[in-house]
Amino acid sequence: MSRAIDAAAAHLGWPEVEVTRLGGGCIHPAARLSHGGEDAFLKWSDAADFQVEAAGLRALAERGGLRIPEVLGVGEGWLLLEFLDAVRPSPDDHVALGRGLAELHRRVDAPPGFELDGWIGSLPQDNGVRRTWGTFWAEARLRPRLEGARPHLSPAARDAVERAIERTPELLDGIDEMSLLHGDLWNGNHLFTADGPALIDPAVYRGHSEVDLAMMALFGGFRAQVVEAYDAVRPPEPGRRERRALYQLYPLLVHVELFGEGYATRTEAAARSVA
């Protein structure tokens, strides 16, 4: 902790800092650094490489649409960001979140993937570019996580996931409009500020916009107005409901790998609805 704080303070040019530890982080510890009326957000880990998260945050900020914390600095084992104060949202803020996400998801003229491999939680995430979206989802997302989750799944569940993976290129055939995705858009990775809704802790790559929507629906926490406002800007594509389980299968497998059998039943159900 002290090494990361010392490095971040030196980077900011702050000779002294007040440190307030922050809760809520699932993977890395975090703190608020304060000096002379200014604040910054610091997260750190001796085992983490934050370069890809910094690159993802910068890429999201360039796209616009929603508040993204500015990257103030990144070093060996630490990431320093603009500190965002959360406020209680108004109904208009939920609408702004949906509209802003739709703007963020406008078309990217590049293939699925990203320039750097990354992380989903504490697990490695293959962002290598693939020629088609269906191949990317099968090879870079579902297949690696099935291998990691395999010890926690029953033979029937493993077979169901295998069949879903085999069908994936066919099911996603023809989807060629890519967006820049947050990549891990559960309820804990967004907040509302006085300057509008913001996204934090991304796992960025280029992919089908429905991936973020499916993740939002998986564990809940987003009001109906968010998706309604999103759909008013980007009307649903045919088959979105049918693809939802296929896109939710990835984070479910992640949860099985990280947290064990408690997510196995839901994972098998999602796979069977696909296969």
8 Å CB contact between 232 and 225: no
pLDDT at residue 49 in the model: 85
Tens digits of per-residue pLDDT, 134-157?
A: 999 999 999 999 999 999 999 999
My answer on whether 161 and 253 are in the same domain is yes
Alpha carbon distance 21, 42 (integer Å): 10
Helix or strand (DSSP H, E) at 72: strand 71-75
Domain region containing 29: 2-82
Is 159 annotated in the active site?
A: no
8 Å CB contact between 111 and 206: yes
pTM for the full model?
0.95
pLDDT class for 46, splitting at 50, 70, 90?
confident
Alpha carbon distance 149, 201 (integer Å): 23
Helix or strand (DSSP H, E) at 14: none
Q: Which residues pair with 79 in a beta bridge?
A: 43, 74
Catalytic residue among 46, 85, 184, 195: 184
Tens digits of per-residue pLDDT, 217-268?
A: 999 999 999 999 999 999 999 999 999 999 999 999 999 999 999 999 999 9
My answer on whether 122 and 258 are in the same domain is yes
My answer on whether 187 and 63 are in the same domain is no
pLDDT class for 2, splitting at 50, 70, 90?
confident
Residue 25 has pLDDT above 60, yes or no: no
Grouping H, G, I as helix, E, B as strand and the rest as coil, residue 234 is: coil
CATH number of the domain where residue 168 is located: 3.90.1200.10
My answer on whether 138 and 269 are in the same domain is yes
Alpha carbon distance 114, 158 (integer Å): 28
My answer on whether 105 and 237 are in the same domain is yes
8 Å CB contact between 162 and 125: no
pLDDT class for 273, splitting at 50, 70, 90?
very high
- Contacts of residue 224, Cβ cutoff 8 Å, sequence gap at least 6: none
| Count of domains for the chain | 2
Which has the closest alpha carbon to 170: 133, 140, 142?
133
